[in-house]
Structure 1
């Protein structure tokens, strides 16, 4: 089976179907929110993202509510929250490109506040 599309020759094997794939705006936004949540080690519900054009690339603006450890307990990990944001930005760009196939431009991260990290209760059978 063969044909042309926009003047270009197209060759397809028997049973193959021509078409296109679309990734919705919501799917891309949700994927980038999940990547950001993973990078900051917070629940996905604590992240929101907005997508915009960045000179032909995908611009991303994310807001993150960080979990605040109790102030009197020893601090786990090293580095500042700004170091964490820089690392998260790199993760979002690299994994975002890998998962969506889109060229990601500017990634703005806004730390909008904190919430007390809750202990998860486990049921023992």
Structure 2
């Protein structure tokens, strides 16, 4: 399940970058296609992450479940921020604040995913 989760978030980030560049270029049709595929990846991330979270929470050997919940909240925040950034770019509005939040939460999510868990 871990491989499917990592593959889906890696593909989501790649599709996010491609869709953002296409919106920036002004190609609405192609960017909408990549945006929709990225949304599908978001659903796969949530499904695989939810399954892994359920497996961890039901494991009696794990004592400290706090980092699991923090990672879940950070991961959902990253997905939300990616969607917000793409929709804002589609409308022609770009806010630096959302990019800052995105990078902070993305790096914290990676930190929790590899080092803490």
Normalised TM-score (structure 2)? 0.30
Larger radius of gyration: 1
Flag the structure with higher helix content.
Answer: 2
Normalised TM-score (structure 1)? 0.28
Flag the structure with higher strand content.
Answer: 1
